[in-house]
Each structure stands twice: as structure tokens, then as C-alpha cells.
Amino acid sequence: MTRTRSASCLCGAVTVTLHGEPAARANCHCATCRDFYGMPMLSATAWQLEQVSVTGADATFPHPSKSMSRTWCPACGEIVFGTNRLGMRVVPNSLAARAHGGQLPDELQPTMHLFYRQRVIDIVDALPKYLDGWDGPTLDSAH
């Protein structure tokens, strides 16, 4: 049986339902995510389009020059997911954590850092830190 999880924006007007398991669980440090989401890194899960359903009125803003967008609740302004250049839905971990009493479940915890070369803050943890994307050299292997 496929696992289903739901999370809502701050005001509850928009609900995102996730079916199955995420394709990726990561902390993204790329400049595009930092600028587009307004944070030093985006901690999120990525899902195939067909794994995500949304109820409630939402609004979407396309990136002005990249193949990505972010979708939010027009009532409270919280971003409920983004769409990356691969067409995947990227759900911020803050949304999922709130749906689980403020704690991100183990099965949704990040498993890696992406674009760590572009970071603006250093993170001390045991996760692999891919310098340029999700494959290739990691911080440890580059030294």
C-alpha cells in the first residue's frame, strides 16, 4: 500500500498530499534556490509530479529566467511547493515538519547537501556534501 502524507500551509487553506516516497531528500545550497526562496539553503524533499496533489486555491510564480516556479497560499503567503527544472515538486521540510508536530520524520530527513560549493553557511553534519549538484565530487573527496 502506498504511503500518503498531507501538510497544509500556515492558515490551512492549501493542503499538499504526497503519495509514496520522495525521489530525493536534500539541503540545496545553490544560489538559485537561495535567491528564489529567500533563505540560506532550501531543505526539502523532491517528488514526481504524479505523487503530489494540491487542494485549495494556490498561486504560482515562475522564475523570471530559469525553468522553475514556486507555489504558495494567497491567504497566508506560505510556499507550499516549488517546481524544479526537472519538473519535480519540491516541498519545503518546514511544511512537513509542522504536519508532524514540529519534527521532521526520519523517512523525510535530508540524506545529502547539493551544490555545497555555493553555500553561504557551513553545515557540520555527517551527510555527503556534493559540490556541484547531486553527483560527482563531495567536499571530503575534493581535499
Supply the pLDDT for residue 44.
97
- Residue corresponding to grid cell 520522495: 22
Supply the pLDDT for residue 141.
62
Residue ranges per domain, the chain?
4-118
Supply the pLDDT for residue 142.
53
- Residues 6 or more apart whose CB falls under 8 angstroms from that of 29 comprise 40, 41, 113, 114, 115, 116, 117, 118, 119, 120
**Cα 111 to Cα 113: distance, rounded to the nearest angstrom:** 7
Supply the pLDDT for residue 135.
80
Residue 78: helix, strand or coil by DSSP? coil
Supply the pLDDT for residue 140.
79
Supply the pLDDT for residue 139.
87
In the predicted model, residues of the chain with pLDDT beneath 50 are none
Supply the pLDDT for residue 133.
83
Expressed in angstroms, the distance from the first to the final Cα of the chain is 44
Residues 33-74 have pLDDT tens digits of: 999 899 999 999 999 999 999 999 999 999 999 999 999 999
CA neighbor of 15 nearest in space, from 96, 102, 129 = 96
Looking at domain 4-118, does it have CATH number 2.170.150.70? yes
CA neighbor of 92 nearest in space, from 20, 10, 11 = 10
Residue type, 128: P
